[in-house]
Amino acid sequence: MDAPKLRIMAGIAGVLFALAGVVGIGVASILALSALIGPIWGALVFGVLALGIAGGSLYVFILPNRSTERELDDLEDATAKAIVDLPFATLRAVLERQPLLAVAIAGLAGYSLTREPEEAVRHAQRLLTRFL
């Protein structure tokens, strides 16, 4: 079995055992509270505490005090930054893997730019419109 599948299975097992642990702690808490205040009140107190923790976690996750427009603006900014960095990251990867090919391409681009500048500008514009 390869490493990514093993990691996914380990993550699933971790979540299942964590859920079993939470259930075990819940049962133990209810049993401990039932000795003090009765079984019904013990279960009720534990349920209220669990709902309070779940509600606080959901409030932090959802963040209702932020507007939808602000969330979309943040998402658009992050997406735009990722798209802008993508061609440079690709070029950097090509440079690191095949430096001689990068030098050859740069030399060819320089030669074509000095020999026929109008044609090179047209090709560059066509290339940029394809990227965008």
Pick 108 or 21 by higher pLDDT: 21
Query: Does residue 4 form part of some domain?
Result: yes
Query: Does residue 130 form part of some domain?
Result: no
Q: Name the residue range of residue 14's domain.
A: 1-65
The Cα 128–Cα 87 span in angstroms is: 11
pLDDT confidence band for 7 (50 / 70 / 90): confident
Question: pLDDT tens for residues 22-63?
Answer: 888 889 988 888 888 988 888 888 888 888 888 888 787 777
Query: Does residue 101 form part of some domain?
Result: no
pLDDT of residue 83: 67
pLDDT confidence band for 131 (50 / 70 / 90): low
Residue 33 in contact with residue 46, Cβ under 8 Å?
yes
Q: How many domains does the chain have?
A: 1
Prediction pTM value: 0.42
Query: Does residue 32 form part of some domain?
Result: yes
Query: Does residue 57 form part of some domain?
Result: yes
| Burial label, 104 (beta-carbon count in 10 A; 0-12, 13-18, 19+) | exposed
Query: Does residue 72 form part of some domain?
Result: no
